[in-house]
Amino acid sequence: MSSQIHSTAIVDPDAKIGDDVVIGPHAVIGARVRIGSGCEIGAAAQIHGPTVLGSENRISPMAAVGFEPQDLKFHGEETRLEIGDRNVFREFSTMHRGTGNGGGLTTIGDDNLFMVYTHVAHDCHVGSRTVFSNGGTLAGHVEVADDAVVGAYSAVHQFCRVGRHSYIGGYSVITRDPLPFVKTVGQKPVAYGVNTIGLERKGMDPETIRILEKAVRLLLRSKLNTTQALERMEAEFGDSEEVRYLMDFVRASSRGVITKSPGGSRTRGG
């Protein structure tokens, strides 16, 4: 089946449109945009290049994809946005290209859901199967790993990393790295322990969840400092791939990780 492009849509001659693509009324597809097969571009959505979309992505009406970054250091240099397959970008979501100083590239993986008014800023790298609730916002240079959730109207500070299966609750202000597998919530965020229900829904086996709960308890609720907690985790649960990922995530953090508990205990140092 050939692509269906509405008569009022504006498609730059330089754009490359795959098979079975539907482009709605008043949509704008700019130069150096490549759209894979089976994509749906809603009414009045805009995609500017250089931007690459994989297959079967859905761009809802009024979404803005591939625009210049909102960075005063950007001066028109060559930068890109690369998007994988089967992503959903809902109304008024905004996805920006990279900056020359930040590597020149923003990337988004596969099977992600970006709800209304979400924003992915320049030089961010988002994995696959993530969910961004309404108004969830990434500042520049943020890394979001697979299966993470960013809650409604939450903001993630520049250069933070969001770990695999992290759950950021609504209206949170994230200025340090939220832990993988853990629920992190609040304007002064605290870690509420393993997101057990979320991991069960993702199909993680009960024994792995049980081990993660024990490992995270050492990190969040024991009287050990971070270095001591990691040593205990290594000794007791080092055979677990998920625990090893958690330990590596903590050790690699440059901004520090969020380990404050709801009871108000302070974040422990190394």
The domain spanning residue 62 has which CATH number?
2.160.10.10
Q: Quick one: 8 and 137 in the same domain?
A: yes
59, 36 contact by CB (below 8 A): no
**Has residue 187 been placed in a domain?**
no
Domain boundary among 141, 157, 173: 141
**Has residue 124 been placed in a domain?**
yes
Q: Is 140 a catalytic residue?
A: yes
Q: Quick one: 60 and 129 in the same domain?
A: yes
Q: Is 38 a catalytic residue?
A: no
Which member of 48, 96, 122, 141 is catalytic? 122
Q: Quick one: 28 and 136 in the same domain?
A: yes
Q: What is the pLDDT of residues 158-197, one digit of tens each?
A: 999 999 999 999 999 999 999 999 999 999 999 999 999 9
Q: Which residues contact 233 (CB under 8 A, 6 or more apart)?
A: 215, 218, 219, 243, 246, 247
**Has residue 151 been placed in a domain?**
no
Q: Quick one: 37 and 112 in the same domain?
A: yes
Domain count along the chain: 2
Cα(23)–Cα(139) distance, rounded to whole angstroms?
A: 29
**Has residue 167 been placed in a domain?**
no
Q: Quick one: 137 and 210 in the same domain?
A: no
Token pair for 14? 């330089």
Q: What is the pLDDT of residues 223-261, one digit of tens each?
A: 899 999 999 999 999 899 999 999 999 999 999 999 998
> What CATH number is attached to the domain comprising 219?
1.20.1180.10
Which member of 123, 146, 147, 177 is catalytic? 123
Which member of 140, 163, 169, 186 is catalytic? 140
Q: Quick one: 15 and 134 in the same domain?
A: yes
- State the pLDDT confidence band at 264, using cuts at 50, 70 and 90: low
Residue 243 is which amino acid? V
- Calculate the alpha carbon distances from 16 to 49, 51, 73, 95 in Å: 11, 11, 30, 19
Cα(108)–Cα(87) distance, rounded to whole angstroms?
A: 9
Cα(167)–Cα(151) distance, rounded to whole angstroms?
A: 8
Q: Which domain holds residue 206?
A: 199-252
Q: What is the pLDDT of residues 5-53, one digit of tens each?
A: 999 999 999 999 999 999 999 999 999 999 999 999 999 999 999 999 9
**Has residue 96 been placed in a domain?**
yes
- Calculate the alpha carbon distances from 7 to 4, 22, 24, 66, 202 in Å: 9, 12, 9, 23, 42
> What is the torsional sign of CA 260, 158, 82, 37?
positive
**Has residue 189 been placed in a domain?**
no
Measure CA 189 to chain center. 18
C-alpha Rg value of the chain to the nearest Å: 20
- Other CB atoms within a 10 A radius of the CB of residue 31 amount to 12
Q: Is 75 a catalytic residue?
A: no
Q: Quick one: 135 and 237 in the same domain?
A: no
Give the length of the chain: 270
